[in-house]
Amino acid sequence: MFQSQTKQVVVIILSTILAVFSLLSILFFTDPFAASWIILGLFYLSLFLVFLGFFTIIGLSLRGWFSSKIYIVKLSQSFRQALLISLLITFSAFLQANHLFFWWVEVSLVLFLIFTEIFLNLKN
């Protein structure tokens, strides 16, 4: 927790690379039609972690260029928004796999996440 900024970014990048390796291993070495629910759960977990790390790094680097806030505020905002976007993508992939992906379900999910972000920004 009391690491330097570069160590935190390196840990996030290494964790994302590990999640990419996990996701690719599941994609290449398992049969999706014969996979158990544990393998599917690990697939969605690694998909979530890949997008969480990717969007956290992207958000943190963009905030570093355009914002003059302190680092921990930029990191917390980037992580929170990456968490919401990753939930959206992972849940959308789950819905698509189960043939439940309809436009009104996706709009409801997007609106829920937007209102969640607005509610979380009210504290600031």
pLDDT in tens, 52-67: 999 999 999 988 888 7
pLDDT at 2: 62
pLDDT at 64: 82
pLDDT at 30: 92
Name the average pLDDT for the chain: 91
pLDDT at 70: 84
pLDDT at 6: 84
- Give the tokens for residue 92: 């959308």
Report, as an integer, the average pLDDT of 42-52: 97
pLDDT at 120: 87
- The answer to whether residues 85 and 55 touch, using CB atoms and an 8 Å cutoff, is yes
Which amino acid would we find at residue 72?
I
CA distance linking residue 24 with residue 64, whole number of Å: 30
pLDDT at 110: 95
CA distance linking residue 77 with residue 58, whole number of Å: 12
Residue 48 has pLDDT above 70, yes or no: yes
pLDDT at 46: 97
pLDDT at 92: 96
